[in-house]
């Protein structure tokens, strides 16, 4: 999957895990083109979107300042918030790990409470739906 034009269907990117390998190593491993962009207020990011065998799409994003200033070893993996709410953490992590050819030991961060992780995604999506559009038309 090339380019940065993809948007998660729910409109919510939800962090799944952090991988302890640099993003350029992972991009090379799966034949993805490494992209560079500037997320609002976060500095320079490098990463790529990856379509998984199930058809799901994930974003791998590595922030330069996180690596240089905080010792983060690799990218955060984001999934669609709706999938985080319904598909289950372990299933999503297994699919991402398999697609990237990773051993579970390559995961440097994951939520401690996966039920709270899933519930948080569901609550965030519900709150966004209740709030309605950010700029309603007059």
Average pLDDT over residues 118-127: 94
User: 136 pLDDT band (50/70/90 cuts)?
Assistant: very low
Assigned token pair, 72: 């983060």
Q: Which of 61, 55, 63 is nearest to 99 (CA)?
A: 55
Average pLDDT over residues 49-72: 95
Q: Are 62 and 75 in contact (CB under 8 A)?
A: yes
Rounded to an integer, what distance in angstroms lies between the CA atom of residue 70 and that of residue 100? 24
pLDDT per residue as tens digits for the range 3-31: 678 899 999 999 999 999 999 999 999 99
Distances (CA, A) of 102 to 24, 65, 106, 136: 14, 24, 6, 44
């Amino acid at each position: 999957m090339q380019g940065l034009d993809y948007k998660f269907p729910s409109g919510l990117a939800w962090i799944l895990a952090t991988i302890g390998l640099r993003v350029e190593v992972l991009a090379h491993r799966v034949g993805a083109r490494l992209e560079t962009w500037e997320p609002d207020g976060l500095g320079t990011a490098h990463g790529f979107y990856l379509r998984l065998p199930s058809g799901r799409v994930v974003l791998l994003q590595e922030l330069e300042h996180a690596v240089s200033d905080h010792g983060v070893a690799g990218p955060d993996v984001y999934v669609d918030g709706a999938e985080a709410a319904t598909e289950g953490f372990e299933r999503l992590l297994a699919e991402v790990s398999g697609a990237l050819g990773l051993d579970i030991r390559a995961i440097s961060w994951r939520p401690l409470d996966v039920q709270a992780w899933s519930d948080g995604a569901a609550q965030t999506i519900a709150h966004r739906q209740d709030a309605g559009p950010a700029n309603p038309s007059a």
